[in-house]
Chain A
Amino acid sequence: MIGWTTPRGWAHIGAGFAFALLIPAFVTQNFLLHIAILVLFSAYLGQAWNIAGGYAGQRSFGHAVFVGTGAYVTAILQTRFGWNPWLTLPPAIIGGAAVGWLIGFLSFRAGLRGSYFALITLAFSEVARILANSLEITRGGLGILVPLSPGFANFQFANKGNFFIVVLAMFAVAFGIAWWLEKSRFGARLVAVRENEDAAAALGVDTFKAKLHALMLSGGMAALGGSFYVQYYLYVEPPIAYGVERSVEMLLVSMIGGSGTVLGPLVGSIALHLISDTTRHFLEAPGVALILYGIVLILIVGFLPDGLISLFRRRPTVVPDTDSGAPARRGAHA
């Protein structure tokens, strides 16, 4: 858990972001930039999931409910009420956090854990999808088209390089939040709740509040991702906003890479895009992605429960603990 504090750690991270910033200057093919944007976007959403699912251990199966909410808040404010898209971001984040509060309040008050919590979140995202499909304000199944009008003021860029910079900035903020969790009392409390709720409560952690705040933070972050999606594709419809594929991708990215770690979602996003982009040409039928995701998930949970990132990390060498906690005692028993 503790790491990244060294000057070398800082240098690596700084170099990584500096390198990423240079990508748009050298990569001019739009399809390569598009892939880079998608990788960072998935990593960002995976990091949002990771706050609640990885650090706090509340594994949701329906995080699309937050992404979709952010997407619709932005699209509706922009097209119906004529808001500037940049200004829709705060309400979108607040909307995601509010949905997080609602789901968290209901399920944590009821004491739902593990797969029960996962199922409840899935149910919420499905309800949201059905609502979006039938309500007038979301234009039902037709979806909402955002009119094209490129320009920085409109959060629309003719050049994909600028979108890349925006998603890189979002990723950097999410990265910073995860990093802060590793260093802060709030983060320590989330991890304590994940590891053992009773022990956490005994040591003064308000476990209900900790889980609730984690889900609100996670939901707000995911909602911002939804806003970005709308500006990038200029379109949103119920299955895109609230689809199960989105939820599964978010948890998968985090778990493949290593949930509860700062870099896990990025590693997972790169891995997942490598897998799905190389297999896409062979498997075009609808639903195949979900099957593929399922297989990947089973393999990861079965063989690499701490994610790909555990392959890179040096395991702490465990000193064989014979009987006493104090090494000074050793001689006495030898």
Chain B
Amino acid sequence: MLEAQSLTKAFGGLVAVRDASIKVPEGRIVSLIGPNGAGKTTLFAMVAGFLRPDRGTVTFQGQDITGWQPHRICALGMVRTFQITQPFANLTVLENVMVGAYARIANRLEAAELARKVATRVGLGARLDQPAQGLTVAGRKRLELARALATQPKLLLLDEVMAGLNPTEITEIVQVIRGIRDSGVTIFLIEHVMQAVMSLSEYTYVLNNGALIAEGEPKAVASDPHVIEAYLGHGAAERIKKGNAHA
């Protein structure tokens, strides 16, 4: 459904993403992991039209969308959320979600109805009329998810929607995401919370210093020495093996 070929992006001298190629098949939950600053968000931004890649192409449902503007990509059915949440601060939760709903619905009452349904689904049902700026981190993450979902996407790009949530909330949102996939939406997610990646995704890519260093089933990837080193530092894989720290 989504295919990125050799994406590369540099900021000045810093190469944030180097020659990264990924594939997201329809109906799956695919994840992208890696330490802070690895280039995950930059990769998302290129895929969703927020950054023009220096090199490489993005194909969505067989169509080359490299360099397209975000609103056109959204119209095709791919939508992203922001790791640093971007609420419409002075609007209510319902009004925020309605902006997403208006992507495919012109009628106000119908848009409001869909927005209400989606907001309730992600656990914001009790906060519809509250200004978005009053939400906590967890609330804002839910709002990002709700707005994106309200655009009725075929492919949802989620950038760390679980960061800052407590374990109960994570379990909850994992359920929600699974439900979204079961309703026919393909999901590509960036996640730090390993437990969530393990339980949610069927395939995972690992990015480190801008380059893909591993890919495969989450369990296999998590025990890959390259990945452990990337996360825990040089020599970590050795130490873990010695200490028999598999738990």
Chain A positions within 8 Å of B, measured between CB atoms, are: 1-2, 183-185, 188-189, 191-192, 195-196, 198-207, 316, 318-319, 321-327, 329, 332
Contacts and interface: CB of A to CB of B under 8 A. Distances in A.
Nearest to B133: A318
In order of increasing CB-CB distance, the 10 nearest A-B pairs are A204-B103, A195-B88, A204-B74, A199-B86, A201-B70, A326-B123, A325-B139, A192-B99, A185-B102, A318-B134
A205 B100 CA distance: 9
Given A192-B88, A204-B151, A321 B134 contact: yes
A194 to B, nearest CB: 8
A205 B70 CA distance: 8
A262 B107 CA distance: 21
A323 B79 contact: no
Contacts, number: 128
Interface residues of B, number: 51
B185 to A, nearest CB: 16
B99 A200 contact: yes
A333 B150 CA distance: 30
A202 B159 CA distance: 13
Interface of B: 48, 50, 69-71, 74-75, 79-82, 86-92, 95, 98-100, 102-104, 106, 108, 111, 122-127, 129-131, 134-136, 138-139, 142, 147-148, 150-151, 166, 168-169, 172
Given A322-B136, A332-B168, A202 B74 contact: yes
B88 A323 contact: no
Contact of B142 (A195, A323, A325): A325
Contact of B135 (A202, A316, A321, A327): A321
A90 B247 CA distance: 76
Contact of B151 (A1, A195, A203, A321): A203
A21 B191 CA distance: 62
Nearest to A183: B108
Contact of A203 (B125, B148, B166): B148
A119 to B, nearest CB: 25
B135 A325 contact: yes
Nearest to A198: B86
B127 A196 contact: no
B86 A321 contact: no
B79 A202 contact: yes
Nearest to B105: A185
Given A205-B103, A319-B134, A327-B126, 10 more contacts: A185-B102, A188-B95, A191-B95, A202-B79, A203-B79, A203-B147, A204-B79, A316-B92, A316-B130, A329-B168
